[in-house]
Amino acid sequence: MELRLDRLDVAIGGTPIVRELTLSAPSGSVLGLIGPNGSGKTTALRSVYRALEPDGGVVWAGDRDLWRLPRSEAARTVAAVPQQHRAHLDFTVAELVAMGRHPHHRHGGRLSEAEHRLCREAMERVDIAHLAGQGVLTLSGGELQRVLVARALVQQPRILVLDEPTNHLDLRHQLGLLSLITASDLTVLTVLHDLNLAAAACDRIAVLAEGAIVAVGRPEEVLTAAMLRTVFGVDAEVMPHPRTGRPQILFAIPEQSEMEGNRP
């Protein structure tokens, strides 16, 4: 399902955060949002998964205005793993993952055997099957992150929204998660701070600064030394990966005086 943000405006407390944001992610593609802190990335995502209603513009899921859909239908269309997680009661991992099926049950009821199998498969895919009976309050940050990804997967959405999905994950699980989403048939909108992971995983990347688009295109079109200096205020070398050809960014820790001179 195609996801389109059409001239999206979002303000918080009267302060504009996102300004006339227009973006599209074709069905089955991965669109990454990058940009400095405070550039509006998370705010844009919250408008897509209906946590923050936009002040103007439309979020299109296919040919339907996502904010005009009934709540349950919207939840069957879009699943999200937000950056900030609310404290959970001490459900087991299996119970929390199974909550992803709630939008598919109008009046509650027990999960079918097929749904239980779907939950087990999702836990296996993100390497948490061995934690199924464990309480979620005992988990590490990385383990909980993978539980929430599994819950989103069992929701069986058409669009998946991920805000810093690799946060708290070790390197193996970072790569495993990105491999999972790139191999899926879902349309994925994700915020990533690690630009090399964004280059490796995303079909297209949009750069935000002060709530507006600075650049959008394929990773090799967007991730340039000039963009990094202009938007992030850093000097870096950009080279093709020897195996994939995708851009890889090489940083060196600068002297403090250089950092002060490179502020955007």
Residue of 167, 90, 153, 104 whose CA lies nearest to 124: 153
All residues at 6 or more sequence positions from 220 whose CB lies less than 8 Å from its CB, including other chains: 240, 245, 246, 247
112 and 154, same structural domain?
yes
Residues 6+ away with beta carbon under 8 Å from 46:
52, 82
Same domain? For 60 and 172 the reply is yes
Same domain, 109 and 150: yes
pLDDT winner (highest mean) among 31-35, 105-109, 166-170: 31-35
3-state secondary structure 18-52: EEEEEEEECCCCEEEEECCCCCCHHHHHHHHCCCC
Structure confidence by residue, pLDDT tens digits, 101-120 = 999 987 667 899 999 999 99
| Mean pLDDT to the nearest integer, 145-155 | 96
- Name beta bridge partners: 80: 161
Whether residues 217 and 234 fall in one domain: no
In a shared domain, residues 188 and 254: no
Query: Which of 58-72, 85-99, 162-176, 177-191 has the lowest average pLDDT?
Result: 85-99
**Cα separation of 22 and 20, whole Å?**
6
Based on the number of CB atoms within 10 Å of its own CB, is 194 exposed (0-12), middle (13-18) or buried (19 or more)? middle
Residue type, 64: R
For the segment 63-91, the average pLDDT, to the nearest whole number, is 90
pLDDT at 107: 67
Helix or strand run (H / E) with residue 60? strand 56-61
CATH of the domain at 164: 3.40.50.300
Is the pLDDT score of 12 beyond 70?
yes
Residues spanned by the domain of 229: 224-264
Residue pair 154/118 in contact by the 8 Å Cβ criterion:
yes
Pair 84, 112 in one domain: yes
Band of the pLDDT at 96, cuts 50, 70, 90?
Answer: very high
> Do 35 and 140 have their domain in common?
yes
Q: Residue 264 pLDDT more than 80? A: no
For residues 210 and 39, what is the distance between their CA atoms, to the nearest angstrom? 5
Beta strand 159-163 with 78-81 is parallel
CB 116 within 8 A of CB 91: no
My answer on whether 68 and 184 are in the same domain is yes
Task: Please tell me whether residues 155 and 39 are part of one structural domain.
Answer: yes
The predicted structure's pLDDT at residue 164: 95
Strands 30-34 and 187-191: parallel
- pLDDT for position 24: 97
The span from the CA of 246 to the CA of 225, in Å, is 14
Spatial separation of the C-alpha atoms in residues 142 and 254, rounded to whole Å: 30
| Location of structure tokens 């239908």 | 73
Structural domain tally of the chain?
A: 2
Q: Could you give the C-alpha distances from 118 to 121, 133, 142, 215, 222, in angstroms and in order?
A: 5, 16, 22, 39, 37
Q: Same domain for 210 and 234?
A: no
| Pair 56, 167 in one domain | yes
- Flag the least confident range among 134-143, 198-207, 253-262: 253-262
